Amino acid sequence: MKKIIITSLISLMLATNASADTDSENNLSKRNPGEVKDCFEGVNRATFKFNQVLDGAIFQPVAKAYRVLPSPVRAGTSNALDNISTLVTIPNNILQGELSKAGVNTGRFIVNTTFGIVGIFDVAEKIGFPEYEKEDYGQTLGVMGVGEGCYLVLPVLGPSTARDTFGSLANLMGGDPWYNITTVNDTQYFSDFDYWASRAGTGIDFRAKNLDSFENLEKNSMDFYASVRSLYLQDRQQKIGNSNKITETQNDSDWEEIETQ
């Protein structure tokens, strides 16, 4: 039950990300572009409504409370969570053939974990490391040409595709070193609580950054479900293509790869 509750706190991460286009068909794969079909739209819409109820009852209030914290506290928390996510980015850099980026991100992780006090301070950026770009297994599958399959809305976890869902499972099958350290291996320094708490923190941090834009999107969308679907697919397309384009209505710096990490 504890894991279910904590996991639910990160679902909001997948319930938002932005631009205003409501077209439901987007090209995700760089090698095999095609339409992303909403094969289970009826079920997806029902699940989407369920997730909205959770957002209103849990995520939004918690995010508002989080925004009351002093800015340095929120910045340090965000930096530390980004530092943890580097552990997933590095193996995906390697799988995508981006060995130089893997080296840079390894150096970034070492610097920030040590001199940055477990990543609370982004020392790597201050000494000239390139801006951090997250990668995940869903992106890697897209780069490899794997088709995206049907669009899905997962209970609690929110928007996804068949490909991204499978990619997310890789984190729980040994693909996430942080998951292995905290949950799989019996260590005296970390526990499974540390893993799930970090995932919950990532979701809360993201929701807090996007409170206003998410509310505006809901208020101005004729079909909120279709808007979120379009925005998620656009975001995935940009990340798979390593695009620097920023979506129009939300801060997508953390859209990450949090599905089931």
> pLDDT of 9-23, one tens digit each?
343 343 333 333 333
Mention every residue, 6+ apart, whose C-beta is less than 8 A from residue 251: 209, 210, 213
CB contact at 8 A, 249 and 211: no
For residue 49, is pLDDT > 60?
A: yes
Give the per-residue pLDDT at 33. Answer: 40
Residue range 58-82: mean pLDDT, rounded: 94
Mention every residue, 6+ apart, whose C-beta is less than 8 A from residue 113: 83, 119
CA distance 91 to 174: 11
Band (245; pLDDT cuts 50, 70, 90): low
Q: What residue spans define the domains of the chain? A: 2-19+42-240
Tokens 């990300």 sit on residue: 17
For residue 255, is pLDDT > 80?
A: no
If we measure between CA atoms, which residue out of 146, 145, 147 comes closest to residue 37?
Answer: 147
Mean of pLDDT over the chain: 81
Residue range 43-52: mean pLDDT, rounded: 95
**Amino acid, res. 235:** D
Residue range 89-97: mean pLDDT, rounded: 95
Q: pLDDT tens digits for 168-211? A: 888 878 788 888 888 887 777 888 888 889 988 998 998 899 88
What angle do the packed helices 99-114 and 71-95 form, to 10 degrees? 150
- DSSP reduced 3-state for 179: helix
Of 105-119, 152-166, 177-191, 244-258, least confident by mean pLDDT is: 244-258
CA distance 137 to 96: 10
Count other Cβ atoms within 10 Å, centred on residue 238.
19
If we measure between CA atoms, which residue out of 244, 173, 223 comes closest to residue 22?
Answer: 223
CA distance 89 to 135: 5
Phi, psi of 233 (to 5 degrees): -65, -40
If we measure between CA atoms, which residue out of 44, 10, 46 comes closest to residue 24?
Answer: 44
Task: Identify which of 104-108, 169-173, 252-256 has the greatest average pLDDT.
Answer: 104-108
Band (260; pLDDT cuts 50, 70, 90): very low
Give the per-residue pLDDT at 10. Answer: 40
Give the per-residue pLDDT at 116. Answer: 96
Residue range 60-75: mean pLDDT, rounded: 94
CB contact at 8 A, 229 and 151: yes
Give the per-residue pLDDT at 25. Answer: 35
CB contact at 8 A, 18 and 249: yes
